[in-house]
């Protein structure tokens, strides 16, 4: 069911983006924004810290490649909380984030950003090449207009995060996969 949801979401977003002539507004990042929303829905953060927070913070570390596309998911309800978006966040500010999208402008500082994210229990996501191999949790890739993702299970475990098994089944590649899914 979740797989059908992601496939329909991708199809609908691509078709609406193309039909509306939104190519200049980057349908790729519209899809990636939708993926971020769904990752927020299907991630379990550690208790008791998570249950005491009224919002889920999505932070963009470095330059914002999304432009207006994050407006489509901002303020949505996720796990009973409002999704908030903060842009141009620095590594030392990640403690107030639940999800960190690390932009390519931070490639030179990736090790420091991932270390800060891991210590803070943050779901790290990026479209940087080899992101999962570098220690990130979810790496987004785009091939032929299709957005896919890899998951680093060891990095998720180090951050005390659990990803829904249905999401893991949709991953293109699982890094550090020990458990059966």
pLDDT mean for each 10 residues of the chain (181 residues): 50 39 65 97 87 90 96 94 96 94 97 94 97 97 93 96 95 78 47
Of 37, 54, 57, 76, residue with least CA distance to 120 = 57
| 5 vs 137: CA distance, rounded Å | 22
Cα distance from N-terminal residue to C-terminal residue, the chain: 16
- Domain annotation covers residue 180: no
Residue 181 belongs to a domain: no
Looking at the structure of the chain, the number of domains it has is: 1
Check residue 24 and give its pLDDT.
Answer: 39
Q: Could you tell me if residue 18 is inside a domain?
A: yes
Range of 87's domain? 2-175
For residue 24, give the DSSP letter: G
Q: What is the pLDDT of residue 52?
A: 76
Q: How many CA atoms lie within 13 A of 62 on its CB side?
A: 19
Q: Is residue 74 one of the residues assigned to a domain? A: yes
Please report which residue ranges of 20-109 form alpha helices under DSSP H.
Answer: 27-41
Give the pTM: 0.84
At residue 152, the 3 state secondary structure works out as strand
Rounded CA gap, 112 and 29, in Å?
25
* Within-domain flag for 99: yes
Q: Which CATH number covers residue 32?
A: 3.40.50
């Amino acid at each position: 069911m979740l797989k059908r949801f992601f496939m329909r979401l991708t199809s609908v977003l691509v078709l609406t983006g193309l039909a509306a002539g939104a190519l200049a507004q980057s349908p790729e990042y519209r899809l990636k924004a939708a993926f971020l929303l769904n990752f927020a829905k299907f991630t379990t953060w550690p208790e008791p810290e998570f249950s005491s927070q009224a919002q889920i913070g999505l932070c963009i570390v470095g330059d914002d490649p999304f432009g207006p596309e994050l407006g489509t998911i901002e303020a949505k309800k996720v796990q009973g909380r409002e999704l908030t978006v903060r842009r141009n966040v620095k590594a030392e500010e990640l403690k107030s984030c639940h999800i960190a999208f690390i932009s390519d402008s931070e490639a030179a500082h990736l090790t420091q950003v991932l270390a800060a994210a891991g210590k803070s229990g943050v779901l790290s996501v990026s479209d940087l090449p080899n992101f999962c191999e570098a220690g990130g949790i979810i790496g987004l890739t785009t091939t032929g207009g299709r957005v896919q993702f890899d998951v680093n299970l060891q990095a998720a475990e180090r951050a005390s995060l659990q990803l829904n098994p249905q999401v893991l089944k949709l991953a293109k590649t699982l890094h550090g996969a020990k458990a059966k899914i």
